[in-house]
Structure 1
Amino acid sequence: MSAVAEPHRVPSRSSLPVPPDLDIDPYSNEVLSNPYPFFDRMRETAAIVRLSRYGVYVTGRYEETKIILNDHDRFTASAGIGIADIRKPGKFRIPNRLLENDPPGHTAIRGTLTKILSPIVIRRWREHFEAEAAVFADRIIEMKDVNGVDDVAEAYVLKVFPGVVGVDLPRTEALAIGEMSFNQAGPENELHVAAVRRAEPYLDWYERSVQREAMLPGSIGEMLFEAEDRGEFEPGIASNICRAFVRGGMDTTVAGIGFALLQLARDPDQWAILRADPSKARGAFEEAIRHESPSYVNYRTTTRATELSGFALEADTKIGIFSGAANRDPRFWDNPTKYDITRDTAGIHMAFGFGTHSCIGQMIARLEAECLLRALAMRAKSIRLMGEPRYRLINQLHTLDTLPLRIEA
C-alpha cells in the first residue's frame, strides 16, 4: 500500500520557491536494484526535491545532507528515521532512544555509550577478531569458489558480532529481524508486508534476546544493563539500545564488506594495492561504503517552516537523506564513481552519518571489516568475480544478495 501525498503548499509569508516535484518511487524494485540513475536525477534536479508520491522532501547532495544531519533544531529525528511519522495516529511506536532522539536527551545517552565503547574496549576485541578472520580466510581459500555474502561477509560477522553485542544471533532469525526492521522504515509496500510476515515466527525470540537475562558476559549488552543499574540510563533504555545494535550493527557491516569484496574483485589494480600493503584494509572498507552506501535513506522532520538552499520547506514534513547519493555528489567528490582505496574518506563520507547522530558502533564495523579484508589480502593471490552480483531488495538498506567469487592463493 503506497502513501498518498497531500497537496504541496507554500509556507505562509514566504517568497522563496518550493522544491520541485519528482515523480519517481525510490522504493520500487527497479530503483532499489540500481539506485544510481535516480540518485543522479535527484541531485541534478535541485538541492532539495519533493517526492510527489509520498509528499516528502529528499536530498542527494553532500552539503545539504551535512546541514540536515547537524541541525537538530530545524530537522528532528524524534519523529522517526523512517518515512512514517511515528508520532502520528496509526503510525505510533516507541522510538529508538539512541537514533530517534535529539539533544539534550540524546546527549546523555550517547555520553554513557561513548564511555562503554571506549578505544580501550575496542582494542580488547581486536585479537579475537583477527584470530577468527585468519580462520575464515584459510577456509575461504580452501573453498575457492564462494558466495561473498553468505560464505564470507555474513558468516564472519555472525561469528564475531554476537559476542560483542551480547545477543545470540542465529542466522535465520537475525536476518529475518534485520530485513523486517529495514523494510518497516520504508512505506507499507509489498516488501514491507512480506518482511513482517517472514519475521513473525521470530518476534518472541527477538524480544527475549534483548533482555538482561539473555546478555552474554563481558558484552556491550551486559555493560548497558550495568549502566542502567547505576542510574546512568532511565529504566528500559538498555534493552531499547540493544535493539539498535542488533538491527543496525549487523546488516550494514555485512553490506559494506560485501561491497568491498565486489569492488576489489572488479578492479585487479585495487586488489594489487591492498595485497602489497594489507594495512590499507580499513581504507578499502571506508571507500567501499562511500562508493556504495549500505544506509539507503534516513529521514528527519522539519520542526517549523524553514528555508534550505533557497527553497521554502513546510513545517512537520519528512525530509529524506540519501547518503549513497551524497557520497557520489560530484560537487564534493573528485571522480566519485571510481573505487579508490587510497582515497581519504574516513570521517568525511556520510555512510556512518554525521555529527550528533553519527553511528556509535562504527568502530566495531571498521574493526570487523579491517580484520577480515587484511587476512584475505595476506593470503589470497587473486579475487575474481565469477558472475553477476545480485542485490537484495530492502526498503531502507542497500546490500548484496549474492556475490559469486573465486578466491585463490
Structure 2
Amino acid sequence: MQPHSEAQATVPASPVATLEPPAFDWDPWAIENLIDPYPMHEALRDAAPIVWLPQYDMYAVGRHEECRTVLSDYSRFMTGAGTSMQDIRKPGKFRIPSRLQEVDPPKHTQIRSVVTRAMPPTVIRRMRDFFEAKAAEIAARVLAMGTFDAVDQVTEPYVISAFPAAVGVRLERKAALTIAEMRFNQSCPHNELYHKAMKAAEPYLDWFDEACQRPNVEPGSIADLLFQAEEAGQLEEGVASNITRSFVGGGVDSTISAIGHTLHHLARNPDQFARVKADPRKVRPAFEEGIRMDTPFQFTWRTTIRDTHLGDYRLAGDTKVTVLLGAANRDPRRWQDPERYDIGRETVGNYLGFGVADHNCVGQMIARLEADAILTALIRGARSIELAGEPVYRPVNQMRMLGKLPLRVVPE
C-alpha cells in the first residue's frame, strides 16, 4: 500500500458546481414581454447567472458574461442541435439546418471561409454605391414630406431594395417581410404568433425557394459567387442555396429593426443627434448603440453537449440554453448606466449585437454599410429629428421590431 503523503493531503480539490439553477416563472414569449421585455430582463438577471424555464424545459441566461460564455465555448455548448428552441436532431423536430449558423467548428470554419471569400472588395464597393444612391432617393422624399412613418417609408422600403440586391436575390416587399416574420416566429414556441405567421407565409414559400436557386440570382453577386464555389467543389451540393436563404431571411428584418431603433433613439435624444450632426463619423457609433439598446435578435440558443456547469451551477447534458441577447446588452454588471443611449460608449467588440466568436454575423459588414448610407443621408439633410407620435412595437417571437415610428424632421 502506497503511503499517503502530506503533499497529497493538502492539494485542494477542484471546484465543483453544487447549485441547481432556480426556476424562473416569467414567460419570455408572452406578448407583453415581447412588446416590453425590459422588466423581464431585469428580473432574469437578478434571479441568478442561469435559470430554469419550467414551462419550456430549458435553461436561460441573461447576464453579459454568461451569455458570452455560452455563445463562445464550443466544447460545452453546441449549435448543431439548432439555434432555435427546437432540437432539430429529435424526432418530429427535424428541419434542414442553416449550413452557416447551425454547424459547429471545424466544419463551420471551412464553410465560413468560403462565404467570406464571396464578399470581395469589388462586391463591397458596388454595394456601397448602390446603398448610397438608394438612401439619397429615400431621404430626399421623406425630408420633403416633413412628417412620416420611418418604418413604412424609410426602413422597410430601403432595406428590401438594398440588401437583397446586394446579395443577388430579387424580392418583393410583402413576400420578403412575410417570409422573415415566419422565420423569426418559427424559432420559438409554437404559439399564436407562430401559427399566424406560418399561415401567412404559405403562399410565398415556393417562390422564396425558387428565388434563392442558381438560375435566379444576379450575376456577380454574393449568391452567384457562392454558387460558383459550390460548382468548384468548395461547398457541398445544396449549401449555396441554403446559405443564400439564410442571408436573405436573417438580414432583412434584423437590419430594418436596427436602423429603426437608431432613428428612434436619436429622435428621443436631441443631444446625441446633435453630436452626430456635428460629426458624421459618429453615425456608426450611433447605430451600434441603437443595437445595444434595442437588440434586433432578442434570443438565440445553444445545447449542452454533456453534463457541465456554468459557474457554480450544474447543467444537464443535451439540454437547450436560451441566450437573451437583449438582456445581456443592458446588463448593469457590464455597462454603466445601461438604460441611457450614449453614442460615446465603447460598444463594438463588447456587446452581443452581432454575436461573438466564430458564429458572429457574417453579414454584419453589409448591415453597417446599409445603416451608414441611410442614416448619413437623413442626418445630413435634417436640422432636427423628433417623434411625431409614440412608436408602436410589433410582437415577433425572436425579434425586437418596430411596427410604426412616426417622425418629424426640419430639413436644412
TM-score range, shorter chain: over 0.9
Which residue does the alignment assign to 2:193?
A: 191
Looking at structure 1, the residues matched to 146 and 285 of structure 2 have their Cα atoms a distance apart, in angstroms, of 25
- What SS class does the counterpart of residue 187 from structure 1 fall into? coil
Which residue does the alignment assign to 2:316?
A: 314
Looking at structure 1, the residues matched to 122 and 351 of structure 2 have their Cα atoms a distance apart, in angstroms, of 25
Q: 2:218 aligns with which of 204, 216, 226?
A: 216
CA contact (8 A) 1:24 1:53 kept: no
The AA in structure 2 aligned to 1:371 is A
- What SS class does the counterpart of residue 86 from structure 2 fall into? coil
The AA in structure 2 aligned to 1:75 is F
Which residue does the alignment assign to 1:405?
A: 407
CA contact (8 A) 2:292 2:326 kept: yes
Q: State the number of aligned residues.
A: 396
Q: 1:67 aligns with which of 42, 66, 69?
A: 69
TM-score for the superposition, normalised by structure 1 = 0.95
* Cα-Cα RMSD: 1.1
- What SS class does the counterpart of residue 301 from structure 1 fall into? strand
The AA in structure 1 aligned to 2:234 is E
In terms of Rg, which structure is larger? 2
Looking at structure 2, the residues matched to 344 and 134 of structure 1 have their Cα atoms a distance apart, in angstroms, of 29
Q: 1:380 aligns with which of 365, 379, 382?
A: 382
CA deviations 1:142-200 (Å, max 9, x no partner) are 12111111111111111211211111110110011000000000011000011000000
Cα deviation, residue 303, structure 1: 0.5
More displaced 10-residue stretch of structure 1: 129-138 or 35-44: 129-138
Cα deviation, residue 377, structure 1: 1.2
Cα deviation, residue 65, structure 1: 1.0
CA contact (8 A) 2:304 2:321 kept: yes
Closer, same or farther: CA 326–245 of 1 in aligned 2, 3 Å: same
The AA in structure 2 aligned to 1:329 is D
More displaced 10-residue stretch of structure 1: 122-131 or 364-373: 122-131
Which residue does the alignment assign to 1:132?
A: 134
- What SS class does the counterpart of residue 113 from structure 2 fall into? helix
- What SS class does the counterpart of residue 314 from structure 2 fall into? strand
CA contact (8 A) 1:305 1:313 kept: yes
TM-score for the superposition, normalised by structure 2 = 0.94
Q: 1:268 aligns with which of 245, 253, 270?
A: 270
Q: 2:58 aligns with which of 47, 56, 59?
A: 56
% identical equivalent positions: 51
Which residue does the alignment assign to 2:88?
A: 86
Verify: 1:390 aligned to 2:380, yes or no.
no
CA contact (8 A) 2:387 2:407 kept: yes
Cα deviation, residue 124, structure 1: 3.3
Which residue does the alignment assign to 1:332?
A: 334
Closer, same or farther: CA 175–352 of 1 in aligned 2, 3 Å: same
Looking at structure 1, the residues matched to 343 and 120 of structure 2 have their Cα atoms a distance apart, in angstroms, of 27
Looking at structure 2, the residues matched to 19 and 118 of structure 1 have their Cα atoms a distance apart, in angstroms, of 46
Residues 162-181 of structure 1: matches in 2 within 5 Å?
Answer: 162-181=164-183
The AA in structure 2 aligned to 1:323 is L
Looking at structure 1, the residues matched to 285 and 115 of structure 2 have their Cα atoms a distance apart, in angstroms, of 25
Looking at structure 2, the residues matched to 121 and 149 of structure 1 have their Cα atoms a distance apart, in angstroms, of 27
Closer, same or farther: CA 230–34 of 1 in aligned 2, 3 Å: same
Which residue does the alignment assign to 2:116?
A: 114
Looking at structure 2, the residues matched to 117 and 306 of structure 1 have their Cα atoms a distance apart, in angstroms, of 38
Looking at structure 2, the residues matched to 219 and 120 of structure 1 have their Cα atoms a distance apart, in angstroms, of 10
Looking at structure 2, the residues matched to 155 and 358 of structure 1 have their Cα atoms a distance apart, in angstroms, of 26
Residues 142-181 of structure 1: matches in 2 within 5 Å?
Answer: 142-181=144-183
Which residue does the alignment assign to 1:245?
A: 247
CA contact (8 A) 2:123 2:220 kept: no
- Structure 1 unaligned residues grouped into runs of 5+: 1-13
Cα deviation, residue 329, structure 1: 0.7
Which residue does the alignment assign to 2:208?
A: 206
Closer, same or farther: CA 328–88 of 1 in aligned 2, 3 Å: same
Closer, same or farther: CA 283–389 of 1 in aligned 2, 3 Å: same
CA deviations 1:306-355 (Å, max 9, x no partner) are 01021000011000111111011111111111111121211221010000
CA deviations 1:259-293 (Å, max 9, x no partner) are 00100011111111111111211111101001110
CA contact (8 A) 2:303 2:319 kept: yes
Looking at structure 1, the residues matched to 323 and 66 of structure 2 have their Cα atoms a distance apart, in angstroms, of 9
Which residue does the alignment assign to 1:39?
A: 41
CA deviations 1:101-154 (Å, max 9, x no partner) are 001110100011111224553233212211221121111101211111111111
CA contact (8 A) 1:48 1:309 kept: no
CA contact (8 A) 1:279 1:374 kept: no
The AA in structure 2 aligned to 1:395 is N
Which residue does the alignment assign to 1:16?
A: 18
